């Protein structure tokens, strides 16, 4: 197995609705929110952790592949391949490709031949910082980089609001710099899986409270080596589209 190239996919990830990715901070601050978003410790600007994107994309692909019952809710790993071979042999190739892209965490019981077949993890999802132009735009308008959304539980019988809670979100329209590094070994072709995963991300969203409308995202720009790759994303939902004519 030979490393033949390392390519970088860059773009802009825009929020269609407010995004909440929690910071894990449970402290209450006077005048603050009890459910803050994660922020960079130096700039104090919100960002999207690469682990959040990687975990969501991987989970969506595993659900679409139909292996979540086999893995019993755990991330697909090398130790699940034997079960897949015995229960759903037809998706073994898909499972191997997913492990090649996202990694498989081998243990001492993992077959050496399988470890060599999968090889090293191909994808690296980098943290997404706010686009500088968007930050400057917000600063010029004296607007904050986050918003506080109030929510209540409505008593079904009394019809009154109870248990108010405020949640910090990055507002709709915010733009983040997206960066994904892709390693290619030999002549393998795994980008179709990447495009499918990013499309599923657009369809389902990021962060918490997705069922309440949070976290819908869209890619407004995707480039690799200076070449526009948004048409590749569009073709996933419209496989018959000509990449030259996709808007």
Could you tell me the residue ranges of all domains in the chain? 1-49+127-247, 58-120
Residue 229 clears pLDDT 80, i.e. is over it: yes
Q: Which two tokens stand for residue 157?
A: 């019988």
Whole-angstrom distance, CA of residue 94 vs CA of residue 90? 8
Give the DSSP letter of residue 146: -
Residues 222, 9 contacting (CB under 8 angstroms):
yes
| Mean pLDDT to the nearest integer, 92-108 | 88
The overall average pLDDT reported for the chain is: 87
Q: At 161, is the pLDDT very low, low, confident or very high (cuts 50, 70, 90)?
A: confident
Q: At 162, is the pLDDT very low, low, confident or very high (cuts 50, 70, 90)?
A: confident
The torsion angles phi and psi of 49, rounded to 5 degrees, stand at -60, 140
Quick: pLDDT tens for 13-62: 999 999 999 876 555 444 455 689 999 999 999 999 999 999 999 999 99
Give, in degrees to the nearest 5, the angle at Cα 208 between 204 and 174.
75
Q: At 240, is the pLDDT very low, low, confident or very high (cuts 50, 70, 90)?
A: very low
Helical axes 191-204 vs 230-237, angle rounded to 10°: 70
């Amino acid at each position: 197995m030979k490393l033949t190239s390392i390519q970088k996919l860059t773009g802009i990830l825009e929020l269609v609705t407010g995004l909440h990715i929690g910071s894990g901070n449970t402290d209450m601050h006077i005048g603050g929110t009890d459910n803050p978003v994660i922020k960079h410790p130096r700039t104090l600007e919100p960002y999207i952790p690469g682990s959040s994107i990687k975990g969501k994309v991987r989970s969506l692909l595993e659900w679409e592949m139909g292996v979540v019952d086999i893995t019993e809710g755990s991330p697909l790993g090398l130790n699940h391949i034997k079960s897949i071979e015995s229960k759903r042999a037809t998706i073994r190739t898909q499972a191997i490709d997913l492990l090649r892209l996202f990694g498989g965490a081998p243990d001492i019981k993992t077959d050496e031949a399988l470890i060599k077949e999968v090889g090293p993890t191909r994808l690296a999802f980098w943290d997404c910082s706010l686009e500088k132009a968007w930050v400057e735009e917000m600063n010029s308008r004296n607007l904050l980089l986050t918003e506080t959304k109030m929510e209540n539980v409505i008593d079904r019988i009394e019809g009154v609001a109870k248990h108010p809670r405020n949640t910090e979100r990055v507002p709709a329209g915010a733009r983040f710099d997206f960066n994904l590094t892709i390693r290619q070994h030999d002549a393998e072709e795994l980008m179709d899986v990447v495009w499918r995963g990013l499309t599923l991300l657009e369809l389902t969203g990021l962060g918490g409270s997705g069922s309440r409308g949070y976290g819908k995202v869209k890619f407004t720009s995707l480039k690799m080596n200076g070449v526009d790759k948004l048409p590749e994303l569009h073709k996933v939902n419209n496989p018959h589209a000509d990449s030259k004519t996709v808007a």
